Amino acid sequence: MIEKHHNTLKKRPSLAVLTSGILAGDRITLSKAITLAESTLAEDEAITADLLDAVLPHTGKSLRIGITGVPGVGKSTFIESFGTHITSVGKKLAVLTIDPSSQLTHGSILGDKTRMDSLSKNPLAYIRPSASGSTLGGVAHKTREAMLLCEAAGFDTIIIETVGTGQSETAVKNMVDFFLLLMLAGAGDELQGIKKGIMEMADTLVITKADGDNKKKASQAAADYQHALHLFQQPISGWTAKVLTCSALENQGIDTVWDSILHYENFTKAQGFWERNRRQQNKTWLYECFNNLLQQEVKKSQRLNNEVNVLEKKVEDGSMSAYQAAKDLLYMFRRPLL
């Protein structure tokens, strides 16, 4: 096992090879770079940090789209049809799909490539599945890094497909330009089927599977949702969210969804919101990285780990509040490590 790990380290691509390969749009190099970014090995994290600095001037020029929806809404089917339309107008598309991980085994199926068979063979599309792990918001731990690497590789449209709406979707909202919420009609009491907060975050709602006998239900659901959106407070972007219907199966309404996104891009850029939002997202990323590094430092110290175990037991049995335990841990962290 030790020899195998040693060989793996020897095969790690150099920073120069990774940088040149990504900027040349080489997909094999891009995949290797994303794998490095997702790694928790110190050596890989160091290379990833240098790599992101090297390619950063070549990022930020893509249109970033977040897509989420209730289970069974047909996200993969929609994205395949939607992605095909995007590539048909000459765009290079990267799809970062997040598969849910088991909280018991931490395993993940990573089956999105098989669910998007046609799109995965499209020369203008790149699909990268990742496991969500224990990260909230239905995004993987290094989704933002993967997005930047895809941008540097020349992909001008990025889709981030989240696990679903069972967890807070704030994480994905904080890394995309446009947030698309997919909904079902005829599933019973639609307006109660999703939290108000998620609807408020959405820039456009799309009622999927608007075909056959379900077409009339989809139109009615769209009207109901549009009425509900009027009751919400106007977002800081100034954009009025739209409710659309589509059928990925029949390829109906897909172009309208794309046109809505382009309209949003033009509107928010003219208002100055697009740039302000990107800047705020970069600031959020700073603190996310800092929090992750802080937790890693705690885990590296045996002394702090021992103290954490003691504090955890006190919090578990109710003899100490979580707040006081956190303050004690902060005090111990500030002390010079022995």
**DSSP string over 284-317:** HHHHHHHHHHHHHHHHH-HHHHHHHHHHHHHHHT
- Report the pLDDT averaged over residues 20-42: 94
For the chain, percent of residues with pLDDT exceeding 70: 83
Residue 12 pLDDT: 82
**Co-location of 251 and 307 in the same domain:** no
The pLDDT of residue 53 is 96
Maximum distance among all Cα pairs of the chain, rounded to whole angstroms? 70
Give the residue-averaged pLDDT of 303-314: 91
CATH number for 4: 1.20.5.170
pLDDT digits (tens, 9 = 90+) for 137-151: 434 468 899 999 999
Query: What per-residue confidence (pLDDT) applies to 175?
Result: 92
Same domain, 217 and 75: yes
Question: Is residue 50 located within the same domain as residue 74?
Answer: no
Q: Are 311 and 304 in contact (CB under 8 A)?
A: no
Indicate whether 276 belongs to any domain. Answer: no
CA 297 to chain centre: 25
Q: Are residues 40 and 68 in the same domain?
A: no
Would the pLDDT of 9 be above 90?
Answer: no
Model confidence over 197-211: pLDDT tens digits?
788 889 999 999 999
42 or 310: whose pLDDT is higher? 310
36: which DSSP letter? H
The amino acid that residue 159 corresponds to is I
- Which residue segment(s) compose the domain that 260 sits in? 60-270
Termini Cα distance of the chain: 32
Judgement on whether residues 225 and 308 belong to the same structural domain of the protein: no
Whether the predicted pLDDT of 329 surpasses 70:
yes
Looking at the 3D structure of the chain, how many domains does it have?
3
Entry pTM = 0.86
In this prediction, residues 293-308 reach a mean pLDDT of 85
pLDDT at res. 132: 53
Cα 302 from Cα 334, distance rounded (Å): 15
Is the same domain home to 237 and 296?
no
Residue labelled with tokens 């009339």:
216
Both 25 and 109 in a single domain? no
What's the rounded mean pLDDT across residues 215-230?
89
Instruction: Say if residue 171 is in the same domain as residue 52.
Output: no
**Contacts with 177 (C-beta within 8 Å, 6 or more apart), sequence order:** 63, 64, 65, 265, 268, 274, 277, 278
Q: What is the pLDDT of residues 47-91, one digit of tens each?
A: 999 999 999 999 999 999 999 887 788 999 999 999 999 999 999
Which residue, 16, 37, 58, sits at the end of a domain?
A: 58
User: Is 120 in the same domain as 259?
Assistant: yes
Q: Indicate which CATH number applies to the domain containing 182.
A: 3.40.50.300
Residue count of the chain: 338
Q: Which of 17, 40, 58 is the last residue of a domain?
A: 58
Q: Give the amino acid at 286.
A: L
Is pLDDT at 314 greater than 60 in this prediction?
yes
Strand order in the sheet with 93-99: 125-131, 93-99, 157-161, 63-69, 178-183, 204-207, 242-245
Question: In which element (H, E) is residue 81 found?
Answer: helix 75-88
275 domain residue, yes or no: no
Determine which helix (DSSP H) or strand (DSSP E) holds 204, and give its type and residue range.
strand 204-207
Residues 49 and 87 in one domain: no
Note whether residue 306 is domain-resident: yes
Q: Is residue 87, in this structure, part of any structural domain at all? A: yes
The pLDDT, as a whole number, for residue 128 is 93
Residues 120 and 237 in one domain: yes
∠ at Cα 285 (282, 288), nearest 5°? 160
What confidence tier does 42 reach under pLDDT thresholds 50, 70, 90?
confident
Instruction: Judge if 81 and 150 occupy the same domain.
Output: yes
